[in-house]
Amino acid sequence: QVRLVESGGGLVQAGDSLRLSCAASGLTFRNYPIAWFRQAPGKEREFVALSNWIGSSRNYADSVKGRFTISRDNAKNTLYLQMNILKPDDTAVYYCAASFRYASSSYQPTRIYEYDYWGQGTQVSVSS
């Protein structure tokens, strides 16, 4: 049974930093593209950042480029999202996701329908 568990969210002020973690189990973590998505109240879930299966390629949404950094520790089966210079618009529930269909592939999926496994999310709230 594949399980993804996010943690590290919280309430912070604009300009602060947070580091989110996603602990994975039930899969060969290093073989899966892993991504972060987020969903604000009343809005659709959107892509945030992606790391391919070996961590050699990364992709970011334009809204977070230069502020967020995705990384993975395959030995610990954990994905991270370092978020700096947080803005109120970053307020959302953040989800990690893994793509089974693109395991061991160099392709970088960025669409919701391309992912097979999802965590339950962690809340990030940024005040001004």
Tell me what the mean pLDDT of segment 118-126 comes to.
98
Does residue 45 contact residue 39 with C-beta atoms inside 8 Å?
yes
More confident residue, 26 or 20: 20
pLDDT digits (tens, 9 = 90+) for 75-121: 898 999 999 999 999 999 999 999 988 988 888 899 999 999 999 99
SS3 of 2, please?
Answer: coil
For 58-61, the CB contacts below 8 A with 24+ separation are 59/108, 59/110
pLDDT at 79: 92
Strand order in the sheet with 68-73: 3-7, 18-25, 78-83, 68-73
pLDDT value of residue 56: 77
Go through 20-52 and write b for each residue having 16 or more CB atoms within 10 A of its CB, e for each that does not: bbbbbeebebbebbbbbbbeeeeeebebbbbbb
- Contact (Cβ atoms closer than 8 angstroms) between residue 46 and residue 39: yes
Q: From start to end of 17-75, where are the E strands?
A: 18-25, 34-39, 46-51, 58-60, 68-73
- Token pair for 15: 């300009």
